Structure 1
């Protein structure tokens, strides 16, 4: 892969090539991407989608929105540092094409900002709830009407693929969704493949999938423009990662490793003394003991260690990327950047206690159970209403439940209709999903 192609400013619908050297320096195309995401309704909805504890009303934990903003800040730092090194290695990118190190930061920041935009209510349990409805619930009745890959899209509903759809689909008269630059879309695509075959290799790009069958045409257009390397056999849609996707992933990994851990402390799920010890182990080589000991409040000590930990891991990720840049461009780098970190043992320890104390806490489990019930109920109501309309057996109730939605019904595609139901529900906030569920149950 070549950086000249990977940094494409092209947008959906463009007829002429956009050149970096001709860009208005006061409003660069990659910065426009960030603005468009920030002002989108899909991004704003993340303020009512919790990051760690579904339906939590406490003010201490991060929402998907605050998490995404933090990931974008870390992503910007990663991109700028890597961009500086890339331009030093390939000076023609600046002298001939006009790229600056800030461009790399802007691309990674925008893609990082959008990285959770496709997540349904109630976090990862929301994804599982949607999939379970089609795999084992009433939605299984549609299996015989779908292709193998279409059915896999539903039973393994994936927030990353849904994010690609939200960012790029034409809907309600808006052509091409947010019309982001192809470079930003490429950096967003952590898993540039369709749902099948599932995990064909141990390569990090095969861990999940990033495009629904409904969106493969544009997906391939983006991959062609960026000149991503084709992977797998000719029958399947699979490409190598855009190199900057590794930085988006690293920014997310850094934030949820450290910030989720901090939330667990603030919620009282992790004992403070134990937590501080784990963080000190991560920053032992860079901590200024005198400064740390001068902090009298535990919250200040925690903030200092958090800042130092994030800075340490940013440095690790940048070094790993630069050391492996040529391998990454060949599509042969097969794991996340932090997996190569000198601090991977400490990261593993932090994640282990987070799983034990936070993700498997009684509060999280109880709220996820509620999320399953809510989403299964909504899916059943909407999919049944759409199914009845397709069969010409529409009830008055079906009209009522669909009246306030933006679900577009296809006359002859069960797959498109079921995907419409899923993506509509995925856009709901935790609170809105609960509100609709209560109304459906008659609790007005």
Structure 2
């Protein structure tokens, strides 16, 4: 893989190549990507989607939206620092093509901003709840009418694949979705493969999948333009990661490691003594003890340590990325950047405590259980109504339910796979509160 192709400014539908030197420096194409994501309806819905604590009533706990904004900020720093070093190594990118280090920061920031845009309500349990409906619930009945890969798309419903669909899907009058640059879409794609075979290797790119069957053709076009190396065998579709994906992933890893931990402290799920002990281990080489001891309030001490910890991990991630640039460009780097971190032991200690005290806390578990029921019931009502309508035997209740869907989700002339996938994507688009509201209506609890 080569940087000139990987930094493509092309967008779906373009009939000519976009040249970096011809860009308007006041608003670069990669910066337009960021703007398009942030003004999208799908991004706005993240303000009421769970990051860690579902339906939290406190004002200092992160939602998917605040998490995504913070990941984009960290991603921008990672991209800019890496970009400066890459241009030093490959000066032709600047001298011949006109690329600047800010371009790398803008690509990573936009991809990081969008990284959770396809995630369902109720956190990662939302993904599992959608899949379980088709794997062990009433949705099992559709297995025999779908191909293996189509069925795998929905039993392993993946927020990353839904994100790619949201960003690129053509709708009536809207060609190519948000029409982001290919570079940003490539950096967004953490798992550039289809749903089967499942985890064919231990390579990080094979951990999950990144696009549904209906998006195979569009992703192939994207991968060809970017020059991504194929990793698929036979008819299976899979590619090497875009190198900047490793920076997007690192930004996410850094933020959820440190900031989920901070949420746990603010909620009182983790004691301050524990927290300070764990964070100080991470920043012991950069902490100013005098400054730290002058901080009177816990939130100020915590804020100081958080900033130091994030800065420490950014520097570490950059060092790993640059050291392994050749292997990354060849598709031979098979783990996340933070897996190679010299702070791996400290990171694992923090994550272990977060799992024990936050992710498995009673509040989180109870609301995840409620989320399973809510998502299953909503899916059941809408899939039943839409499939019955397709088969010509819908009831008045079915037609009433279909009328409550946004118009783009009411289509029943498509294949069973398309109907089921679109319904899953509709449920995934709901915010936590909207899902609860719809469920109350379905159950007759609210008029």
- The 5 Å alignment of 1:89-238 reads 89-238=89-238
Residue number in structure 1 paired with 2:436: 434
* Deviation for aligned residue 1:411: 2.2
When the two structures are aligned, how many residues end up with a matched partner?
444
Residue number in structure 2 paired with 1:414: 416
Q: 236-245 or 52-61: which moved more? A: 52-61
- Give the conservation status (yes or no) of the 8 Å contact 1:189–1:245: yes
Structure 1 position 354 matched with structure 2 position 354? yes
Q: 295-304 or 129-138: which moved more? A: 295-304
1:330-360 superposed Cα distances (whole Å, 9 cap, x missing partner): 0000000011111000000000000000000
CA distance in 2, matches of 1:172, 1:139: 29
* Deviation for aligned residue 1:116: 0.1
CA distance in 2, matches of 1:404, 1:245: 38
* Deviation for aligned residue 1:50: 1.8
Q: Report the 3-state secondary structure (helix = DSSP H, G, I; strand = E; otherwise coil) of the residue aligned with 1:291.
A: helix
Structure 1 position 299 matched with structure 2 position 263? no
Structure 1 position 70 matched with structure 2 position 96? no
CA distance in 1, matches of 2:200, 2:50: 32
- Give the conservation status (yes or no) of the 8 Å contact 2:118–2:162: yes
- The 5 Å alignment of 1:235-254 reads 235-254=235-254
- Give the conservation status (yes or no) of the 8 Å contact 2:389–2:412: no
* Deviation for aligned residue 1:408: 3.9
Structure 1 position 28 matched with structure 2 position 25? no
Uncovered stretches (5+) of structure 1, i.e. residues with no partner = none
Residue number in structure 2 paired with 1:276: 276
- The 5 Å alignment of 1:76-95 reads 76-95=76-95
**TM-score after normalising by structure 2:** 0.99
Residue number in structure 1 paired with 2:314: 314
1:350-385 superposed Cα distances (whole Å, 9 cap, x missing partner): 000000000000000000000000000000000000
- Give the conservation status (yes or no) of the 8 Å contact 1:37–1:114: yes
CA distance in 1, matches of 2:414, 2:276: 58
Q: Report the 3-state secondary structure (helix = DSSP H, G, I; strand = E; otherwise coil) of the residue aligned with 2:244.
A: helix
CA distance in 2, matches of 1:32, 1:396: 45
CA distance in 1, matches of 2:220, 2:24: 29
- Give the conservation status (yes or no) of the 8 Å contact 1:192–1:239: yes
- CA RMSD across the alignment: 0.7
Residue number in structure 1 paired with 2:265: 265
CA distance in 1, matches of 2:182, 2:217: 14
CA distance in 2, matches of 1:85, 1:226: 21
Q: Report the 3-state secondary structure (helix = DSSP H, G, I; strand = E; otherwise coil) of the residue aligned with 2:296.
A: coil
Uncovered stretches (5+) of structure 2, i.e. residues with no partner = none
1:252-286 superposed Cα distances (whole Å, 9 cap, x missing partner): 00000000000000000001111110000000111
- Give the conservation status (yes or no) of the 8 Å contact 1:408–1:420: no
Q: 23-32 or 411-420: which moved more? A: 411-420
* Deviation for aligned residue 1:172: 4.2
Residue number in structure 2 paired with 1:345: 345
CA distance in 1, matches of 2:234, 2:2: 22
Q: State the 4+ residue runs in structure 1 displaced beyond 3 angstroms.
A: none
